[in-house]
Amino acid sequence: MTISPRYRIALFASSCASLPLIEQLHQLEMLVGVVVSNREDGDAQQLLATLSEANIQTLAYVQGSNPTVAKSIQSWQANIGLIFSFPHRLPPSIIALFSGALFNVHASLLPDYRGSAPLFWQLKNQQTNSGISIIKVEEKLDEGPIVWQQPLVITPLDTLNSLTSRVMSIVPSVVVSFLQQLANGAIDARLQQGRGCHAPRPQTEDVQVNWATMSSAQICALARACNPTYGGALLCFNGVTVGLYQATEIALPTFGVNAGTVVYVGEPHGLVIATFDGAIRLDVMNLKEGVFSGLNFAEHFCFDAGMSFD
């Protein structure tokens, strides 16, 4: 595949989630280098190691070193910039290097879910439709004009990791389609309409199950959103915190007990907990001792009907 004019692309990335896109751009001989966050986490370090093995130029992005970063990018003679899975807000001096040709690839249908954790919040909020947006980068985070969007269905079985994997798999083709249209002069940028909603990095309270306020559907959705990146939706009993990876709504009587109370333990239903609007089965639990089925978890901790989560 040849796209004319020949693009020289600098990619800003910090996660192995960007590797399929990197591979595609490298195969098309468009990639001139990757700017990687200097974070010490394993994901960024694995990305650097993979790029080194592939002999792809890299540059460590250190906040506050803008002149050095700018000089290196200029030496690559990049004429297009792409941002995907990159945690830093770029300063005006870096944005200006690309003369309006710096684009951000974002995993939502903007303006909804601006921020660093769009997939988590879409799963938690029980969204069924998502998408990939490509926008021009401006100083305000995720608020630039939209130049490309492609829808993506969220399935009832999607977890955070499975949805992330699907995004990773389709981003290369989305970006190539965008670049082809850009080369043909067929891009129609449009301003984002409406205020949208934000998707900040989740805090502890965002991943905790609140039995008093959360419905069965909300608890099940939170478990999917936290599986496995955040260790599961957080549950507490007797001061011990455990993670819920998977739960299922189930039609069983709850006998008027308080939400968070165990109403059934054993075959064939497993571990069933009352909610304020019904009941859920705890399917998969994450503890420091390992990953358990709900029923094995109940047996391990001697759960019985009438006991309650905090």
Span 68-92, average pLDDT? 93
Architecture of domain 9-198: 3-Layer(aba) Sandwich (3.40)
Q: Where are the domains of the chain?
A: 9-198, 204-300
The domains spanning 9-198 and 204-300 adopt the same CATH topology: no
DSSP conformational letter for 304: -
Q: What is the pLDDT of residue 151?
A: 97
With a CB cutoff of 8 Å and minimum separation 6, the contacts of 27 are: none
Spatial separation of the C-alpha atoms in residues 81 and 114, rounded to whole Å = 20
Q: What is the pLDDT of residue 270?
A: 96
Give yes or no for a contact between 190 and 145, defined as CB atoms under 8 angstroms apart: yes
Closest-CA residue to 10 (of 108, 137, 134, 103): 103
Span 44-58, average pLDDT? 94
Q: What is the pTM of this model?
A: 0.94
Closest-CA residue to 226 (of 180, 176, 163): 163
Fold type of domain 204-300 = Methionyl-tRNA Fmet Formyltransferase; Chain A, domain 2 (3.10.25)
Closest-CA residue to 18 (of 107, 117, 139): 107
pLDDT, tens only, 93-129: 999 999 999 999 999 999 999 999 999 999 999 999 9
pLDDT, tens only, 171-202: 999 999 999 999 998 898 999 998 889 999 99
CA atoms within 13 A on the CB side of 80: 19
With a CB cutoff of 8 Å and minimum separation 6, the contacts of 240 are: none
For the cut 70, the answer to whether the pLDDT of residue 1 exceeds it is no
Q: What is the pLDDT of residue 279?
A: 98
Report the range of poorest mean pLDDT among 56-70, 115-129, 154-168, 293-307.
56-70
Spatial separation of the C-alpha atoms in residues 109 and 130, rounded to whole Å = 6
Q: What is the dihedral of CA 246, 249, 251, 257, to 10 degrees?
A: 90
pLDDT, tens only, 253-269: 999 999 999 999 999 99
Q: pLDDT > 90: what percent of the chain?
A: 84
Span 132-159, average pLDDT? 95
Average pLDDT, the chain: 94
Predicted confidence band at 142 (pLDDT cuts at 50, 70, 90)?
confident
